[in-house]
Structure formats: C-alpha cells, structure tokens
Amino acid sequence: SQDRVFNFAAGPATLPENVLQKAESELVNWRNSGMSVMEMSHRGKDFVSIIEKAESDLRTLLNIPSDYAVLFLQGGATTQFASIPLNLCNPNDSVDYIVTGSWGDKAFKEAQKYCKPNVIWSGKSEKYTKIPSFDDLKQNPDAKYLHICANETIHGVEFKDYPTPKNKDGILIADMSSNFCSKPVDVSKFGIIYAGAQKNVGPSGVTIVIIRKDLIGNAQDITPVMLDYKIHAENNSLYNTPPCYGIYMCGLVFEDLVNQGGLVEVEKRNMKKAEILYNAIDGSGGFYRCPVEKSVRSLMNVPFTLEKSELEAELIKEATKEKMVQLKGHRSVGGMRASIYNAMPLAGVEKLVTFMKDFQSRHA
C-alpha cells in the first residue's frame, strides 16, 4: 500500500505484502471456522491442518529428507545455542565452533555451560570480514559436532559452501537464522539447521529446527523439558501450546515461496538485488565502503560505511524521509546496514541505490 515503507531492518524484518494481506483477510474468521487462528485450540483439526501444511511446504522448499524432523519451537535462535549442546553432548564432550561473527561467538559462549567447546577458527582479529579456508581448519576428531553461523547478520559474512565435518560422527550444525530459505541448501549435509523466523520467513516467536532423527533422544538429564528435542519431536511440536499465530504466518510465507517457484528462483532474485547494491558501493570511488571480503559477502545483510562518517546520521535522516527505514548498522559495529531479505522487493533496492548515488553527488 502507499503508506508502506521499504524496511531494511535486520529482524524483525519486512514481510511480503501479499502475505500480510492474506493474513488480514483471514484474521477475524479463518476459512469459515468462525474464529481467528489466534483463538483456535492448538489441538483442533484446523490448527493441526495449518501446522502440517507449513511443515509440508517447508519440506518441499528445502527438499528435506524423510529422516529429518522439522520442529516449530520457541525461545529464538538464542535458545538453540543451549539446546544443541544439551541434546547432543555430555558435559565433558568437546565440540568445534567456527566463529565468523557475533552470533557464532554467542553460540560458542553459551555452549561453554554445557560441554567443552573449542573455537577452531575466529575472524575476530580481522573484524569478522572473512570465512576461513576449509583446508586449514584444525578440526578435533573427537568433537561431537562442528558449529557454524551460515550468515552473520551483523557483519554480513556468509558461507557460500560448507566445511566437511571431520568429527567422528560427521555432524555439521548451522545457525541459518538470517539466510534461511534464501537459497537452496542440501539439508543432508547437516545434522541440525536452525533459524529464528523473524528475518526471512515470519514473525518473531517461532524458531525452526531441522534435525536428523538419529540425533534426537540423548539429552543431558538436566535438560529442561522445553529444550528437549525428543519431547517436541514425539509430540509434533505440540507438547505445550506452540506459537500458533506465528506458525500460521510462517506457513503463509512458505506457501508464497513455493508459488514463487521455490528457492532456486528466490536465490536468483536475491543475487540480483545484492549485486545491484554491492556494485553501487564498490563503484562509488570509496564514498561508500563494504569491509567484507568480496567472495563471502552476504546476499541478505549488506553492511557499509561512509568515507565521511560524519554524514551517516544525515544519510539515515534523508533515507527515512524518502521512506527507506532501518538503515543504521548494528550498535556494536556502527555504519550502515541494509538487510535485503527475500521479501525486500527489487524496487526497494533500486530506490536505495538511486538515493545513495544522489546523496553522494550532493555530499562528495
């Protein structure tokens, strides 16, 4: 609608307008049920049909093999930082973490409470602008799993390929919160993929966990019931009251992505948007700069700085006036960040680039 802005927020983030309109049309009376999805019993046939359809469309999108469970949980990706070691490790087990940004670091720090994690590579000294070369990694053969953050939301660093886990059970785990469903992924390479919904696939409050079924069922005794994958898998994510409305919204987004032609098509659009924006930054003669190494730049989160950093506040102010909002970089790194998730239209990126060129011509 005319009043909507282009929202470049990192999450919660912009959602497809057609999905919001569909939700609006079904808000008060979902498909003649006489009530809103918010008011339904989570065990009634209507809601069960909603969660089953959401799972089935997600399985189609990511081509999820049948030996993987899909769980719709709560607590955000942050809760998974604890759930993963609690479910997969004993307190004395070692695990490997590759730390390519703040989120990988947070995952590592939380794991320290429940097992013995090692950082086998960190990009911190290079300000998190790189992904390591996989050949140089010193993986611990006794580690229970290797953990990565597939896309660092704050630093804009994205794995384009994945390291082969060299631990004894061959388990790779990825936090895909900020690039979930942005491109095809070979799920069979991973033991667990997890993601908070609020960037690419829905509102906050839903956390999606895709887990190989043989990894379920070994939780430490102290594991809270809400963090135990076995409990949630056995109960089809309905052990307790799930975030029903959020799951419904994710389902609408999955359906929309299927209708768009699936993740191959989605990735093409995301590559085009990212290319336009990075080209504008790189072609600005240094007026704008992106610190991330070119080969690992994120298709989702584009951080950049201004050579004249004193102009940042002005740029944000002018962009906001032009209905392009939430361009301020994360408080920990400063600068600017444009998050261009699936639901950011090409027109939004084109408008931003035109604005950035104009801003440069007025302030160079």
Residues in touch with ligand PMP (CB under 6 A): 11, 76-78, 103, 149, 153, 175, 177-178, 196
Residue 121, strand partner residues: 98
For this structure, is 221 an active site residue? no
CB of 197 to ligand PMP, least distance (A): 8
CB of 102 to ligand PMP, least distance (A): 8
Which residue, 242 or 280, is less far from ligand PMP as judged by CB? 242
Please identify which of the residues 144, 199, 273, 328 carries the catalytic annotation: 199
Under DSSP, the state recorded for 8 is -
CB of 342 to ligand PMP, least distance (A): 15
3-state SS, residue 213: helix
Side chain identity at residue 212, one-letter code? R
For this structure, is 175 an active site residue? yes
Side chain identity at residue 87, one-letter code? N
Q: Closest Cα to residue 282, out of 290, 274, 293, 292?
A: 290
Which residue, 153 or 360, is less far from ligand PMP as judged by CB? 153
Q: Check the CA dihedral 122-124-125-131 and report its sign.
A: positive
Which residue, 8 or 103, is less far from ligand PMP as judged by CB? 103
CB of 176 to ligand PMP, least distance (A): 8
For this structure, is 22 an active site residue? no
Specify whether the CB–CB gap between 143 and 167 falls below 8 A: yes
Q: Nearest to ligand PMP by Cβ — which residue?
A: 76
CB of 293 to ligand PMP, least distance (A): 18
Specify whether the CB–CB gap between 211 and 68 falls below 8 A: yes
Which residue, 11 or 40, is less far from ligand PMP as judged by CB? 11
Rounded to whole angstroms, how far apart are CA atoms 104 and 109? Answer: 9
DSSP string, 217-236: S---TT--GGG-HHHHHHTT
Instruction: Cite the beta strand spans of 103-169 per DSSP E.
Output: 116-122, 146-149, 151-152, 157-158
Cis-peptide, bond into residue 12, ω within 30° of zero? yes
Supply the residues annotated as catalytic.
Answer: 103, 175, 199
